[in-house]
């Protein structure tokens, strides 16, 4: 049962990034304008989309999940600081803490790794 909940947890925490990356692909122009409004160069949108799609998939399937989780934790903290520092706006405050909560979840994955239902699971060999 723990393996099932681990997989569900990895799917849940990764889904927000998959959806965000998908939306950025189909709203590319508007997203570039929005990013540039915060002083972030628009050319970074391509790598951002790749990061938001590739690393969550790796976490879900359990391939290099710990490295992917560290990268997404750093990404979550950076985006919180760059885009959500307006504490006068309640929605931005919630988004700020949501990003830090996501970073905490990713750090948990980074420390403990995925359980048995993953590509990188450690095989147990029995000597005869």
**What is the tens place of the pLDDT at every residue in 8-57?**
999 999 999 999 999 999 999 999 999 999 999 999 999 999 999 999 99
pTM, two decimals, is 0.91
Task: Please classify residue 40 by burial: count the beta carbons closer than 10 Å to its beta carbon, then call 0-12 exposed, 13-18 middle and 19+ buried.
Answer: middle
Q: Where are the domains of the chain?
A: 2-112
- Asked whether the beta carbons of 52 and 17 are under 8 A apart, the reply is yes
The residue length of the chain stands at 128
The pLDDT score that the predictor gives to residue 126 is 64
């Amino acid at each position: 049962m723990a393996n099932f909940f681990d997989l569900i947890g990895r799917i849940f925490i990764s889904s927000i990034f998959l959806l965000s990356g998908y939306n950025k692909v189909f709203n590319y122009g508007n997203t570039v304008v929005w990013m540039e409004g915060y002083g972030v160069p628009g050319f970074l949108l391509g790598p951002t989309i790749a990061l938001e799609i590739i690393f969550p998939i790796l976490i879900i399937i359990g391939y290099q999940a710990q490295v992917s989780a560290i990268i997404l934790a750093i990404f979550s903290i950076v985006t919180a600081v760059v885009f959500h520092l307006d504490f006068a706006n309640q929605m931005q405050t919630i988004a700020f803490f949501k990003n830090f909560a996501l970073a905490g979840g990713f750090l948990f994955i980074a420390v403990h790794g995925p359980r048995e239902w993953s590509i990188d699971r450690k095989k147990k060999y029995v000597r005869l």
